[in-house]
Chains A and B, each alone.
Chain A
Amino acid sequence: MKIHEFQGKELFADYKIPIQKQHVCTTVEQVGVAFDELTSPVVVKAQVLVGGRGKAGGIKFTKTREDAMAAADKILGMDIKGLTVEKLLVCEAVDIAKEIYVGFVNDRNTKSVMLMVSAEGGVEIEEVAKTNPEKIIKIPIDPLVGLPAHLARNVFFKVLNDGSQVRQAADILVKLYKLYVEKDCSLAEINPLVITDDNKVIALDSKINFDDNALFRHPEYEAMADYTDDEKLEVEATERGLSYVKLDGEIGCMVNGAGLAMATMDMINLYGGTPANFLDIGGSSNPQKVIHAMEYLLNDKNVKAVLINIFGGITRCDDVAKGLLEAFKQMKVTIPVVIRLSGTNEKEGRELLKDSKELISADSMADAARKVIEAAKNV
């Protein structure tokens, strides 16, 4: 789960990480009021959950109340990479002497929280990683020791040469690690962490992702979420025990298991079709899940035909069949549905479905992919 810059900075403030004075606004008038309460110049920043806001014109530096309101008027409602700007962060500008990058991320390879620091702050770190990977210092943190102050100092003495700056930055880094662990982050970045002209160290931006697996111990995160319409569907699906990701193709897929679901989408592509979604109904045998899954597929207006690919393990084919029969009773299905059932209780499942006129049955994944693409062509 991603959160906005202003929310990340509010967390920073809770952990005593220095930030600029800030106001969150949703209207032009609020920006005017915010300007009066801050010391000019101020920066008006679009709050959207995507990178590249500056390049898209979503960040403006302003010196007068009128300029700030004009900037707000321009940025509010702006489309940045498909997302509409609804909130603005208004904060006091600072004179920047130096920008650095600091971040933590869960790292698969070292099985640790990885500390990353770079003197190349203020630019996209992914770019630096591609072009100048040697400019990023990476240190895996021992989870049983944590981040000791001396380690933080040692790192910053490699990118800063003033003792006071190093002490301030190290203090921020230790606090950021504490935040990272306590809040169950999967990513926490300050980019840039700036040294101001008067030798203060301040977090000028924030990028925080929470680990979706840890949401159960942070009920407070629900109120912080800002989902797009597609993401709302995904979250709702998760609450129903399904994994759903909407795409823009024509073949709706319902599969048990994430790997097989991806392989099914790939198969549709390979045979010349386009998948409309990723949908994993998971491992349990709950007919209700199948009904919900059918709803997602049929509510997607782009879907011309449906492919159901089940390889029963924990999931029992007869339970899936029962769910489908119930779904057909509750919903009017006017598009072709191709089904492949294999594995646990396959025979019982097929027996249950043998009289369903709605279904085209297939013997294998490949057979199912061929049949569903053919069926979609004739719709």
Chain B
Amino acid sequence: MSILINKNTKLVVQGITGRDGGFHASKMGAYGTNMVAGVSPGKEGTKVNGVPVFNTVENAVKATGANTSVIFVPAPFAADAIAEASEAGIKLVIAITEGIPTIDVIRVTPILERNGTKMIGPNCPGLISPGESMVGILPVTIFDKGNVGLISRSGTLTYEMVNQLKSHGIGQSTCVGIGGDPVIGLHYKELLTMFEADNDTDAIVLCGEIGGDAEEQAAAFIKENITKPVVAFIAGQSAPPGKRMGHAGALITSGSGTAAEKIKAFEAAGVKVAKEPAEMPVLIKKALGI
């Protein structure tokens, strides 16, 4: 097993005729992701790398039974694309697009809730269940099938962590990049719960960063609800307050959201925190007793 995506995932790519959408669709296809459709308004009837293109998500769902969507639509139109997927009955939307106005994401949230649609992102690298399915822009060669679940607010930091795990022979059940924006879909709590229930996951890596208090909430949640070992890493210990560190959500405001507070919260909850990426596999091995 794995969480969120697997061999049964039927993926529709929104924005498949764009430069990024087309490029990454071909990468996902090459990995074996079950890509059933693309959407690009006005281009129904054409094909991109053998994948049929539809005018609307609704048409794509009707024709192919697609249940998952990935969004490569540019920021000004991305929230509308997310809403379209949700209204068409898609149950999981992965929004890769960076730079969507926060208020647009806030507006689309009640629509997702009404339709029971889960969202990963926006501003995320996507997710992978190694050996089964990859949805997003992840460099697939570094991932191996295994028993560690990973949740991260960052893209390349995820690759660094996975590479560290790989060098110690540790594979992953599912790796999820949840996105670097202030307002995002599924967060730590939901994903921790999924990994807790997943038979193929024996330990969990949580990569957080400065800004907000999601890590503090996750720490309290782990203490009460998660029995599998969790090892955390927090990026941004040397970040100055009041400055946006690349990600829109990575911002220390009025002295809150600092790395020190987050590390303290994890340690208080009994969660081990890696001081540097190289320490992650060591702590994971210890947690797994290998």
- Complex: chain B residue closest to A274, CB-CB: B238
B101 with A211: CB separation less than 8 A: yes
Given contacts A112-B106, A270-B276, A280-B246, contact A106 B154 (CB under 8 A): no
Does A257 belong to the interface (CB within 8 Å)? Answer: yes
B137 with A342: CB separation less than 8 A: no
Given contacts A108-B214, A216-B76, A313-B125, contact A260 B154 (CB under 8 A): yes
Q: Which residue of A109, A214, A261, A314 contacts B137 across the interface (Cβ within 8 Å)?
A: A314
Does A325 belong to the interface (CB within 8 Å)? Answer: no
| Binary CB contact string for chain A from 233 to 268 against chain B (1 if under 8 A, 0 otherwise) | 000000000010101000000011111111101111
- Complex: chain B residue closest to A257, CB-CB: B156
| Interface of A, helix, strand, loop or mixed by DSSP | mixed
- Complex: chain A residue closest to B122, CB-CB: A213
Q: Which residue of B158, B209, B246, B259 contacts A243 across the interface (Cβ within 8 Å)?
A: B246
A113 with B101: CB separation less than 8 A: no
Does B9 belong to the interface (CB within 8 Å)? Answer: no
- Residues of B126-141 contacting chain A, CB below 8 A: 137-139
Nearest CB of A to B21, in Å: 13
Does A171 belong to the interface (CB within 8 Å)? Answer: no
Which of B139, B163, B238 has most A Cβ within 10 Å? B238
Query: Whole-angstrom distance between the alpha carbons of A342 and B164 in the complex?
Result: 12
Nearest CB of B to A29, in Å: 35
Count of interface residues, chain A, beta-carbon cutoff 8 Å: 52
A186 with B102: CB separation less than 8 A: yes
| Binary CB contact string for chain A from 104 to 116 against chain B (1 if under 8 A, 0 otherwise) | 0010110111000
Does B152 belong to the interface (CB within 8 Å)? Answer: yes
Which of B107, B138, B152, B236 has most A Cβ within 10 Å? B236
Query: Whole-angstrom distance between the alpha carbons of A366 and B207 in the complex?
Result: 18
The interface-forming segment of B41-49, B195-203, B247-255 is: B247-255
B239 with A270: CB separation less than 8 A: no
Q: Which residue of A143, A212, A267 contacts B248 across the interface (Cβ within 8 Å)?
A: A212
Residues from chain B with a CB closer than 8 A to the CB of A366 are 276, 278
Query: Whole-angstrom distance between the alpha carbons of A110 and B182 in the complex?
Result: 11
Given contacts A313-B159, A365-B276, contact A278 B245 (CB under 8 A): yes
| Binary CB contact string for chain A from 262 to 286 against chain B (1 if under 8 A, 0 otherwise) | 1101111110000100101001000
Does B170 belong to the interface (CB within 8 Å)? Answer: no
- Complex: chain B residue closest to A230, CB-CB: B243
Query: Whole-angstrom distance between the alpha carbons of A144 and B248 in the complex?
Result: 24
A143 with B110: CB separation less than 8 A: yes
| Binary CB contact string for chain A from 338 to 362 against chain B (1 if under 8 A, 0 otherwise) | 0000111000000000000000000
- Complex: chain A residue closest to B248, CB-CB: A213
- Complex: chain B residue closest to A216, CB-CB: B76
Nearest CB of B to A183, in Å: 10
Nearest CB of A to B37, in Å: 23
Query: Whole-angstrom distance between the alpha carbons of A112 and B104 in the complex?
Result: 10
Q: Which residue of A112, A143, A214 contacts B101 across the interface (Cβ within 8 Å)?
A: A214
Residues from chain B with a CB closer than 8 A to the CB of A312 are 139
Q: Which residue of B106, B157, B209, B246 contacts A111 across the interface (Cβ within 8 Å)?
A: B106
Does A364 belong to the interface (CB within 8 Å)? Answer: yes
Does B22 belong to the interface (CB within 8 Å)? Answer: no
Query: Whole-angstrom distance between the alpha carbons of A214 and B245 in the complex?
Result: 17
B276 with A111: CB separation less than 8 A: no
Nearest CB of B to A103, in Å: 13
Does B271 belong to the interface (CB within 8 Å)? Answer: no
Residues from chain B with a CB closer than 8 A to the CB of A265 are 236, 238-239
- Complex: chain B residue closest to A183, CB-CB: B103
- Residues of B210-247 contacting chain A, CB below 8 A: 210, 212-214, 217, 233, 235-240, 243-247
Query: Whole-angstrom distance between the alpha carbons of A211 and B109 in the complex?
Result: 18
Nearest CB of A to B141, in Å: 8
Nearest CB of A to B110, in Å: 5
Residues from chain B with a CB closer than 8 A to the CB of A344 are 139
Does A123 belong to the interface (CB within 8 Å)? Answer: no
Nearest CB of A to B35, in Å: 18
A311 with B243: CB separation less than 8 A: no
Residues from chain A with a CB closer than 8 A to the CB of B248 are 212-213
Does B100 belong to the interface (CB within 8 Å)? Answer: yes
Residues from chain A with a CB closer than 8 A to the CB of B50 are none
Given contacts A113-B103, A245-B240, contact A311 B163 (CB under 8 A): yes
Q: Which residue of B99, B102, B125, B137 contacts A106 across the interface (Cβ within 8 Å)?
A: B102
Nearest CB of A to B258, in Å: 12
A259 with B182: CB separation less than 8 A: no
Does B160 belong to the interface (CB within 8 Å)? Answer: yes
Query: Whole-angstrom distance between the alpha carbons of A184 and B101 in the complex?
Result: 8
Q: Which residue of A214, A259, A269, A364 contacts B154 across the interface (Cβ within 8 Å)?
A: A259
A113 with B210: CB separation less than 8 A: no
B100 with A213: CB separation less than 8 A: yes
B155 with A266: CB separation less than 8 A: no
14 other A-B residue contacts (CB within 8 Å) besides A256-B156, A313-B137: A211-B103, A212-B244, A258-B154, A259-B152, A259-B235, A260-B157, A260-B159, A260-B235, A262-B209, A263-B157, A269-B237, A278-B246, A342-B159, A365-B160
Show 21 residue pairs from A and B whose CB-CB distance is below 8 angstroms, ordered by the A residue.
A108-B182, A109-B214, A211-B102, A217-B76, A257-B155, A258-B246, A259-B155, A259-B209, A262-B157, A262-B210, A263-B233, A265-B238, A268-B238, A278-B239, A283-B137, A311-B156, A311-B163, A342-B163, A343-B142, A364-B278, A365-B160
Write the residues of chain A forming the contact surface with B, with a CB cutoff of 8 angstroms: 106, 108-109, 111-113, 126, 142-144, 181, 184, 186, 211-214, 216-217, 243, 245, 247, 255-263, 265-270, 275, 278, 280, 283, 311-315, 342-344, 364-366
Write the residues of chain B forming the contact surface with A, with a CB cutoff of 8 angstroms: 75-76, 99-103, 105-107, 109-110, 125, 137-139, 142, 152-160, 163, 180-183, 207, 209-210, 212-214, 217, 233, 235-240, 243-250, 254-255, 259, 275-278
The 5 lowest CB-CB distance pairs between A and B, nearest first, are A259-B154, A258-B246, A257-B156, A259-B157, A214-B101
